[in-house]
Amino acid sequence: MATIAASFSAVILPKYTESHTSLKSAFTLAPRHGFLCKNINSHLRLSTTPGTNGVRSRPVCRAANTAVEIETQSGMAKPAAVLPFRVGHGFDLHRLEPGLPLIIGGISIPHDRGCDAHSDGDVLLHCVVDAILGALGLPDIGQLFPDNDPKWRGADSSVFLKEAVRLMHEAGYELGNLDATLILQRPKLSPHKEVIRSNLCKLLGADSTVVNIKAKTHEKVDSLGENRSIAAHTVVLLMKK
């Protein structure tokens, strides 16, 4: 250890102090060369960990007695930049069971079965909520509105979407555009797409030109294609206000 400290003082310090008037200015530059320097004083020690020659690859220099704090390891991490755009993806899937209502985008769709879910099972609104929350880097819908909480039993999913929109505006963002894909074998959604989109725009407070909804069958493959489930994907672009 004494040899390491002596080598550091003899080789590294002169290199930086030749053109600087103080140790403070010298050690301000040191992180560029692999050293994270916390404090400067007349006594220095090097932290070591087991490894090659007992010295870790990025030594940390600390003062025995704190005099001037130059930079801390925790201070090396810069706060996240405010992004001008954020992108989020949402997905949801529910089983379809006979005798239950089928709600898509807040609209009741005539069908012989509906979603088996804790809330109203609106796959479109659920995945839109998750897309917005994901873009904001927030917990997902299941964490904010857990399905083991009785107060959300049978809840209108517009409640969840309104909260996601509130969080979006609180973070200083607005909707740039939204693209959603519904996947179900039956019923055909062509007659209902415009009313679904209109209601979704209303809930989002968005113009219809930035909201798009598509519907696909699953070619009679697996539970989606056998009319036993329904799924949805949504991608959103958020823009800084």
The 10s digit of each residue's pLDDT in 147-192 is 888 888 888 999 999 999 999 999 999 999 999 999 999 999 999 9
pLDDT in tens, 87-139: 999 999 999 999 999 999 999 999 999 999 889 999 999 999 999 999 999 99
Number of residues in the chain? 241
Give residue 34's identity as a one-letter amino acid code.
Answer: G
Cα–Cα separations (whole angstroms), residue 142 to 136, 146, 202: 16, 5, 24
pLDDT of residue 82: 84
Domains and CATH numbers, the chain: 2-76 (no CATH), 85-240 (3.30.1330.50)
* pTM exceeds cut of 0.75: no
Paired tokens of 154: 């049978």
The model's confidence at residue 2, banded by pLDDT at 50, 70 and 90, is low
pLDDT of residue 143: 93
Give residue 203's identity as a one-letter amino acid code.
Answer: L
187 preceded by cis ω (within 30°)?
yes
pLDDT in tens, 17-67: 444 444 444 434 444 444 343 443 444 344 444 444 444 444 444 444 443
